[in-house]
Amino acid sequence: MGLDALLIPAILFFALGVFAKIIKSDLKFPEGLSKGLSLYLLIAIGLKGGAELANAELGLAFKSIFWAIILGFLTPIIGYMILRFRDKIDRMNAAAITAHYGSVSAGTFLTAIAFLDVSGIEYETYPIIMMVVMETPAIIIGLLLAAMARKKIQQMQEGSEEIKTPWKSLIHEAVTNGSVVLLIGSMFIGAVASPEAMEKVYPFSHEIFMGVLCLFLLDLGMEAARRMKAFKEVGVTLIAFGIIMPLIGGTIGMIVAASFLGFGVGGTLLVAILGASASYIAVPPAMRMGVPEANPSYYLTLALGVTFPFNVLVGIPLFYNLSIWYIG
């Protein structure tokens, strides 16, 4: 799988967005369009996953959910240990950053699906369920690590006023996040609707999907390029983390998918990408609210400016080839 594997419209439009910002083009999306594209993509992928789930094996679906929860808890803990090694990054920023790496990037996941579709590679739809499930555990772990760090700091500063973490509010926000609700709801609709009814929305959920994804990635390319300006603030340590952590998480995801879930190459790639990606939609608001001490430019720059482009340009073809090697 060489360079030709990257020459698909979705990835090329992402590169175009980056290039547009590098040359300081005035190209920009109308206000609200980006959110509309995200809503469409979540609905389309949910409908497709739900339709497949209607015919899925229930036992494997539950196993997928179980391993999604394990990945959602394990990945941020590993990331936190890496960032805290030799006190490279302070506790609060480490907690907020690693919460993003236990969660998932819908944009990266959709790009991987586009990669498989264009390449004519079949894949299991269970990773769609896993994508939904992995949002919440990582947020909870990030908040827990931050609370522990806050307590440690308070012990070192006797007499400081105790800071209470609004756990109920934060967990409610995580599980009722619009993207999570829309994805779960669309999957439910796709699963319970009759096959005849689903055929009528086929053009909506399938035929225009790739075109909308190209627009979505064009916008993300411009956003990623804007975040790259913050590299000087992030520093070499965090940039290295934004590349190393996807390799670790992706490898764990690949092993889980192939060895414990028995997925083929396509499904294994998708789970690897779930493990490798970093959230830039659901987690940032939760971290801003729950960990106000952390620097948002750190985790936003890493998620959008480092890890997202790395996964799109390197991670997807890399884990595709690794999946073939590991399974075969």
Number of domains in the chain: 1
pTM for the model stands at 0.78
| pLDDT of 176 higher than 80 | no
Q: Is residue 204 part of a domain?
A: yes
More confident residue, 180 or 250: 250
Q: Is residue 134 part of a domain?
A: yes
Encode pLDDT of 298-312 as tens digits.
887 888 888 988 998
Q: Is residue 12 part of a domain?
A: no
How far apart CA 157 and CA 159 sit, in angstroms, is 6
Looking up residue 142, the CATH number of its domain turns out to be 1.20.1530.20
- Domain holding 303, by residue range, is 32-154+166-327
Kindly provide the b/e burial profile for residues 235-259, where b requires at least 16 CB atoms within 10 angstroms of the residue's own CB.
eeebbebbeebbbbbbbbbbebbbe
The type of residue at 29 is F
How far apart CA 147 and CA 140 sit, in angstroms, is 10
| Per-residue pLDDT, 283 | 81
| pLDDT of 170 higher than 50 | yes
Highest mean pLDDT among 4-18, 72-86, 218-232, 278-292: 72-86
Q: Is residue 225 part of a domain?
A: yes
Average pLDDT over residues 111-134: 87
Q: Is residue 9 part of a domain?
A: no
pLDDT, the chain, mean: 84
Q: What angle do CA 293, 101, 320 make, to 5 degrees?
A: 160
Flag the least confident range among 108-112, 289-293, 320-324: 289-293
Q: Is residue 6 part of a domain?
A: no
* Spatial CA neighbour of 108 closest among 131, 91, 90: 131
Give the containing element (helix H, strand E) for 29.
none
CB atoms within 10 A of CB 107: 27
Which own/partner contact pairs does 175-180 have at CB distance under 8 Å and 24+ positions apart?
Answer: 175/136, 177/135, 177/282, 177/285, 179/38, 179/42, 179/106, 179/135, 179/281, 179/282, 180/132, 180/135, 180/136, 180/282
The type of residue at 36 is G
Average pLDDT over residues 222-227: 78
| pLDDT of 1 higher than 50 | no
| Per-residue pLDDT, 226 | 78
Average pLDDT over residues 160-169: 61
Which residue has 């482009």 as its token pair?
309
| pLDDT of 49 higher than 80 | no
Encode pLDDT of 52-108 as tens digits.
777 778 888 889 989 999 999 999 999 999 998 877 788 888 999 999 998 888 888
* Spatial CA neighbour of 11 closest among 116, 82, 151, 97: 116
Q: Is residue 73 part of a domain?
A: yes
Q: Is residue 10 part of a domain?
A: no
| pLDDT of 215 higher than 70 | yes
Encode pLDDT of 273-299 as tens digits.
999 999 876 687 778 777 888 887 788
